[in-house]
Amino acid sequence: MLSLDQVDSFYGRSHILHGLNLQVPTGQITAIVGRNGTGKTTLLKTIMGLTDRMAGHIRLDGHDLSAEPTFRRARAGIAYVPQGRQIIPDFSIRENILMGGFATTGRGRARGGIPPLVPKLFPYLMQNLDRPGGVLSGGQQQQLAIARALSAEPSVLLLDEPTEGIQPNIVEEIQNIVVRLNTEEGLTIILVEQNVAFARAAGHHFAMLEKGRAVAAGPIGQLTDDLIHRHIAV
């Protein structure tokens, strides 16, 4: 279980998350929904230790990570796929993938090399390892960003809007991969997702953010149309 207990988070003097409590059950998908600018990305960055400052506690299976630097959180088993993918276009697909293991390889977690899930989930990447990342389509770059995160051999995957800005015919492919990472590989996933239909289809639990606060959370069945209309739809 990953848990956040009374978490506040800051960029400089900007106070973005306020007293956030969140329980992320192991082996399940927790969907994070909410309007633009409400703090969804900041939540993932805070879990990874990438905001300027936080207060409160973040624990993974009882271990308090709140004061740990990002690389120790990676070694504890958390990996992050950022919004907008952030791959390095001039690096080869292979180099982009291997980068994701730098903090963890040889430290008792990742084995190094291309992670075994890549040929299984992303055959296209596997067949094109020496091409630059920049030649890939948006959907393929999303696959690359996920493959990079898998290099760390994580147990918890933080996915920030994996289908944002991707051609409609590829969206379903990415969604299938997210679901398979959970059902076949047993990864615990926090899925930030604006697509409510997908959040409902894939998620076991949800949390709704508004202005940096969790205004609702629970089993996915409680993510009702009424809640959506009150907090997301204009």
Ligand X SMILES: Nc1ncnc2c1ncn2[C@@H]1O[C@H](COP(=O)(O)OP(=O)(O)OP(=O)(O)O)[C@@H](O)[C@H]1O
Site residues (vs Mg ion, CB under 5 A): 40-41, 83
CA distance 20 to 39: 11
Examine residue 36 and tell whether it contacts ligand X (CB under 6 A).
yes
Q: Shortest distance, CB of residue 10 to ligand X, whole angstroms?
A: 9
Query: Quick one: CA torsion of 53, 59, 60, 65, rounded to 10 degrees?
Result: 40
Direct distance between the N- and C-terminal alpha carbons of the chain, in angstroms, rounded to an integer: 34
Nearer to ligand X, 43 or 136 (CB): 43
The stretch among 10-18, 70-78, 112-120, 132-140 that binds ligand X (CB under 6 A) is: 10-18
Q: Shortest distance, CB of residue 36 to ligand X, whole angstroms?
A: 4
Site for ligand X in 39-78 (CB under 6 A): 39-42
Q: Which of 164, 115, 166 is nearest to 140 (CA)?
A: 166
Examine residue 195 and tell whether it contacts ligand X (CB under 6 A).
no
Radius of gyration of the chain measured on its C-alpha atoms: 17
Q: Which of 81, 73, 28, 36 is nearest to 54 (CA)?
A: 73
Nearer to Mg ion, 21 or 83 (CB): 83
Q: Are 192 and 83 in contact (CB under 8 A)?
A: yes
Q: Shortest distance, CB of residue 72 to ligand X, whole angstroms?
A: 22
Residue 39, contacted partner among ligand X, Mg ion, none, CB below 5-8 A by kind:
ligand X
Q: Shortest distance, CB of residue 164 to ligand X, whole angstroms?
A: 8
Examine residue 165 and tell whether it contacts ligand X (CB under 6 A).
no
Q: Which of 4, 7, 16, 31 binds ligand X (CB under 6 A)?
A: 16
Nearer to ligand X, 9 or 155 (CB): 9
Examine residue 82 and tell whether it contacts ligand X (CB under 6 A).
no
3-state secondary structure of 133: helix
Residue 32, contacted partner among Mg ion, ligand X, none, CB below 5-8 A by kind:
none
Residue 183, contacted partner among ligand X, Mg ion, none, CB below 5-8 A by kind:
none
CA distance 87 to 51: 20
CA distance 32 to 16: 16
Q: Among the residues of the chain, which ranges form H helices? A: 40-48, 70-75, 93-99, 117-121, 123-127, 138-150, 168-183, 196-202, 225-231
Task: Catalog residues that contact ligand X under the rule CB under 6 A.
Answer: 11, 14, 16, 34, 36-42, 83
